[in-house]
Amino acid sequence: MNSNLQSKKDQLLDNLRSQGITDEKVLEVMAEIPREDFIADYLRPQAYENAALPIESDQTISQPYIVAYMTQELHVKKNHKVLEIGTGSGYQSIVLARLCKRLFTIERHMPLHKSAEEMFKKFRIYNITTLFGNGMKGWIEQEPFDRIMVTAAGEEIPDELLYQLKDGGIMIIPVGGQEETQHIVRITRHGDNFDVKTLLPVKFVPLLSGIVHSS
C-alpha cells in the first residue's frame, strides 16, 4: 500500500473510533484488510473514504462505518457459526470470517459469487463456505446459526431467517423499502419469541428473491 492510501486508512480508523466504534477486534480486522482490492482500479483513491462504492452487478461495497457498526452490533465470537446474506465484493465476508469459527455466505448474483470466491482464495481465507442461491431462504442445510448478517434491505424481516437462528442468536438486518427510511435492526431470538431493536438509519440495496446468472 502506498503512503497516501495508508494515511487515509489510518485517518478512517480514527474517524470510526470517534463515531463510536469501540470493538478493537473489529477495528484490527478492518486495519488488516486492503479495501482497495475489492473495488475497481479507478476507485482505488477513494478506498478509504467513509462512503459506499459501486461494484459489479449494480451492487455496492458498504460504507466502512456501516461495516464496522453492523459487525460490532452482531457481537461475533470466535466459536460462532455465522450466516451472511449477500456476499457482494467479499469484503464484509472476510471481516466476519476473521472473527468467527465458520462463515456461510450466500450471493444471488453469479458474477459476484465467482469474484468473491477468488478473493477468498487470494487472501487464504479457509473458513468460508459459499453458496450461489436465494439468500431470502437462508441455508436450511446448515442451520442453526449463532449469528446472521443481512447486507441488503428487506421490506420485511424474512421468517425463514429468523427461525434459522439458534436460541439466543442475533441477526442484524437493514429493514425498509427503497422509497422510505431504512433502519438497521438487531433481532435476538428467545425460543419462539424475538426481541427487535431498531438501531441506525441507513440506505441499502434491496433484499430480493431469486438468482441472477449474469450482470
Give 82's contacts (C-beta < 8 A, 6+ positions apart). 74, 76, 96, 100, 102, 103, 104, 145, 146, 147, 148, 149
Nearest Cα to 34, choosing from 6, 61, 71, 13? Answer: 6
How far the first Cα of the chain sits from its last, in Å, is 30
In this predicted structure, what is the pLDDT of residue 3? 84
80-101 pLDDT, tens digit per residue, is 999 999 999 999 999 999 999 9
pLDDT classification of 138: cutoffs 50, 70, 90: very high
Residues 62/93, Cβ–Cβ less than 8 Å: no
Q: Is 102 left (phi over 0), alpha (psi -120 to 50) or beta?
A: beta
DSSP state of 184: E
CATH class, domain 52-202, is alpha beta
pLDDT at 214: 72
- Cβ contact 130:87 at 8 Å: yes
Contacts of 198 (CB under 8 A, 6+ apart): 183, 184, 185
Q: Return the amino acid letter for 9.
A: K
Does the pLDDT of residue 215 top 60, yes or no? no
Q: Which amino acid is at 127?
A: N
Residues serving a catalytic function are 62
What is the share, in percent, of the chain residues with pLDDT greater than 90?
91
pTM of the model: 0.95
* Helices and strands per DSSP (H, E), number in the chain: 6, 9
Is 90 exceeded by the pLDDT of residue 1?
Answer: no
- Any idea where the domains of the chain sit in the sequence? 52-202
Cα separation of 115 and 112, whole Å?
A: 5
Helix (H) or strand (E) holding 31: helix 24-32
Strand 182-190, strand 165-175: pairing: antiparallel
In the DSSP assignment, the letter for residue 144 is: -
